[in-house]
Chain A
Amino acid sequence: MPEPVTPVTPGTDPYGEPPVIAPGHTFGSITDKISAIVLTSRVSVGWLGGIGIAFLFFLIFNVAVVYLMWKGVGIWGINIPIGWGFAIVNFVWWIGIGHAGTLISAILLLLHQKWRQSINRFAEAMTLFAVACAGVFPILHLGRPWLAYWLTPYPNTMTVWPQFRSPLIWDVFAVSTYLTVSLVFWYVGLVPDLATLRDRAHSKAGRVIYGIMSLGWRGSGRHWARYEMAYLLLAGLATPLVVSVHTVVSFDFAIAIVPGWHTTIFPPYFVAGAIYSGFAMVLTLAIPIRAVYGLQDFVTMRHLENMAKVMLATGLIVAYGYVIEAFMSFYSADTFERYMTLNRMLGPYRGAYWALILTNVIIPQSLWFKRVRTSVVPLFFVALVVNTGMWLERFVIVVTSLHRDFDPSSWGMYYPTVWDWATFLGTIGLFSTLLFLFIRLLPMISIFEMRGLLPQAEVGREPEKA
């Protein structure tokens, strides 16, 4: 029998901030509200429509991949000198998006930020799906993708091994590790909630499936002790991992000698950019989801505002990166570096460059204003703009540096083909399809962590005996 819940009041906590969870909830009401989204047998028309469109884009992806396997990478716009085009741009874009999930889960946990509890589950899911989308590109962009296993160190009859001094191999290890660790981190976090679903499922199939997936979890205090320790250690491991993964991705560029790539600012600049785009994607997803599923009690204005602040902070770091890159290229007095910067600003791709400055630097400055940070529609718009801007940033970095480097006789132009776009939009379809499935089949907010936010969950220390 559901307990009565007081309507959402604009209550504030002692600091005058919106609450982390709306007042009036109980352990039971939280459980009921979140598990109801999963355990309902009704299939909503909106959800069907959404996953239908997403699946259509996924089918476009399938067509693009099959045609690529058949004809080869010539169907894309890559050429000499621009040997890397959309594939690497999209790879870095997706991986960057994934980083916010790990930051929210791991880093905010270590920093004791309670507001992470309602967003960490679907942020981690977003990470997993983003890394999956990212991971297809290094494989697809190989001339012979069916030989992708050659990237791994295994004893073979050719007696050859991968080149461990290459950032491309570091990428293989970094991205595989990131995918694996994100997956286990997410799954471990799900186990207690899967047990909740097992105990509340209506159908036999539901009980069996959630029963197996929850591994027989029974909420034992002894188990919780080990669980919390393992979770904390995983967070501690995931934190340097997320920094290292995008650092290794930035090494794909920084280890090369091309002007515009060979710069030591890339590791921190890429990591900050990753967090920037990741939080933008979390906001892009969180805002419609909380509206459609009525989760404003759990994902409150506090969460949206905090995420906006993180976006502003990382956006400023990225803006600093742009400024220092431009400054250093002139300060270096290196002809090629200087030309690279002038070419970015005034050359054939200047449209992309100035669009990048507008979307990544200028428009997000609106987040200084509390009115913008706390209004759902402007915030959604800024998040979308930042997502676009971060894609443009990777495009500008890859294409402008490759198309005109040291020797003018080698200069060229890059024009993406319809297959470049199809593959990219197709991965958006893959991502969205997975997200729709996740929303329907698994609890998108961490139920047991939300319960822990309630005042009823506090247990005091043992009182001193008189």
Chain B
Amino acid sequence: MAEPLYGLMAEFEDPKALVEATRRAYEHGYRDMDAYSPIPIEELTEALGIHRTGIAPLVLLGGIVGCVSGYGLQYWVAAIAYPLNVGGRPFNSWPSFVPVTFEMTVLVAALTAVFGMLALNRLPMLYHPVFNVPRFALATRDRFFLCIEATDPKFDPHATREFLESFAPREVSEVVP
């Protein structure tokens, strides 16, 4: 093929076939690949070789930031900036500060989860080469796709195509950038 290729994509009709194909591809040594499906599939994550998503440590960090900044704000306001004797409480009346601290922890952790997930997924990304394949629209309905990318060291237009055809997909398409 003369034109540049992003990769080769195989279309499957059920998730079992996709996961099986992905497992074989990983065993074969392909790493630059991705599988597309309309539902989350736990076994697919393992088949792609993903062990850690990186979200959890980020969220923990976000929670700690929220907690410290929430308490810090209250401490600074109540003990330094504008101290007031309210009901004989000490300026650093920590039990009163628990609710806002808790809410700030949850808020920052939740926002970190969402924006962290989007950032790690590099979303929004409104264009991607796989959208150039017309049948890919079914990836959000009821079809499952495995795309082996041309950047993979073991990628070869003919050998990879044969490899994908061996799983009896409905179709193997070329993905152009």
- The distance in angstroms between the C-alpha atoms of A192 and B38, with both chains bound, is 8
Across the interface, name the chain A residue whose C-beta is closest to B41: A459
Given contacts A181-B110, A226-B53, A230-B55, contact A163 B99 (CB under 8 A): no
**Which residues of B are found within 8 Å of A237, using beta-carbon distances?**
59, 106, 109-110, 113
- The distance in angstroms between the C-alpha atoms of A160 and B45, with both chains bound, is 52
Task: Number of A interface residues at 8 Å Cβ cutoff, please give it.
Answer: 67
Our pick among B74, B84, B142 for the contact of A28 (Cβ within 8 Å) is: B142
Given contacts A173-B100, A215-B124, A459-B15, contact A226 B37 (CB under 8 A): no
- The distance in angstroms between the C-alpha atoms of A442 and B115, with both chains bound, is 22
- The distance in angstroms between the C-alpha atoms of A452 and B121, with both chains bound, is 22
- The distance in angstroms between the C-alpha atoms of A220 and B37, with both chains bound, is 7
A112 at the interface (CB under 8 A from B): no
**A-B residue pairs, 6 tightest by C-beta:** A27-B142, A230-B117, A215-B124, A165-B96, A221-B35, A170-B99
When the two chains form their complex, are residues A180 and B111 in contact, meaning their CB atoms are under 8 A apart? yes
When the two chains form their complex, are residues B114 and A188 in contact, meaning their CB atoms are under 8 A apart? yes
**Which residues of B are found within 8 Å of A334, using beta-carbon distances?**
none
A216 at the interface (CB under 8 A from B): yes
- Residues of B98-122 whose CB lies within 8 A of A: 99-100, 102-104, 106-107, 109-111, 113-114, 116-118, 120-121
A451 at the interface (CB under 8 A from B): yes
When the two chains form their complex, are residues B36 and A460 in contact, meaning their CB atoms are under 8 A apart? no
A residues touching B (Cβ–Cβ < 8 Å)?
26-28, 31, 153, 159-165, 167, 169-170, 173-174, 176-177, 180-181, 184-185, 187-188, 192, 195-196, 198-200, 211-212, 215-230, 233-234, 237-238, 240-241, 244, 248, 251, 448, 451-452, 456-457, 459-462
Residues 15-50 of chain B: 1 if any A CB is under 8 Å from the residue's CB, otherwise 0?
Answer: 110010011000000000011111111111101101
B residues touching A (Cβ–Cβ < 8 Å)?
14-16, 19, 22-23, 34-45, 47-48, 50, 53-56, 59, 73-74, 77-78, 81-82, 84, 86-87, 89, 93, 96-97, 99-100, 102-104, 106-107, 109-111, 113-114, 116-118, 120-121, 123-128, 130-131, 136-142
**Which residues of B are found within 8 Å of A228, using beta-carbon distances?**
40, 42
A-B contact count (CB 8 A): 211
Our pick among A215, A218, A233 for the contact of B113 (Cβ within 8 Å) is: A233
When the two chains form their complex, are residues B34 and A222 in contact, meaning their CB atoms are under 8 A apart? yes
When the two chains form their complex, are residues B106 and A212 in contact, meaning their CB atoms are under 8 A apart? no
**Which residues of B are found within 8 Å of A216, using beta-carbon distances?**
123-128
Given contacts A164-B96, A459-B19, contact A241 B106 (CB under 8 A): yes
- The distance in angstroms between the C-alpha atoms of A227 and B55, with both chains bound, is 9
When the two chains form their complex, are residues B127 and A180 in contact, meaning their CB atoms are under 8 A apart? no
When the two chains form their complex, are residues A177 and B106 in contact, meaning their CB atoms are under 8 A apart? yes
- The distance in angstroms between the C-alpha atoms of A211 and B109, with both chains bound, is 27
**Which residues of A are found within 8 Å of B123, using beta-carbon distances?**
215-217, 223
Given contacts A27-B142, A165-B96, contact A219 B124 (CB under 8 A): no
Q: List 22 A-B contacts (CB under 8 A).
A: A28-B141, A28-B142, A153-B77, A163-B86, A164-B97, A165-B78, A165-B87, A165-B97, A173-B99, A184-B114, A199-B137, A215-B124, A219-B36, A221-B41, A223-B123, A224-B44, A225-B48, A227-B121, A229-B53, A233-B59, A233-B109, A459-B44
**Which residues of A are found within 8 Å of B43, using beta-carbon distances?**
459-462
When the two chains form their complex, are residues B82 and A31 in contact, meaning their CB atoms are under 8 A apart? no
Instruction: Write the nearest CB–CB distance from B134 to chain A, whole angstroms.
Output: 11
- The distance in angstroms between the C-alpha atoms of A228 and B121, with both chains bound, is 12
Across the interface, name the chain A residue whose C-beta is closest to B136: A218
When the two chains form their complex, are residues B23 and A462 in contact, meaning their CB atoms are under 8 A apart? yes
When the two chains form their complex, are residues A31 and B118 in contact, meaning their CB atoms are under 8 A apart? no
- The distance in angstroms between the C-alpha atoms of A26 and B14, with both chains bound, is 11
Across the interface, name the chain B residue whose C-beta is closest to A251: B99
**Which residues of B are found within 8 Å of A28, using beta-carbon distances?**
141-142
**Which residues of B are found within 8 Å of A234, using beta-carbon distances?**
110, 113-114
Knowing that A164-B97, A219-B38 touch, tell me 4 more A-B residue pairs with CB under 8 angstroms.
A31-B141, A176-B103, A233-B113, A244-B99
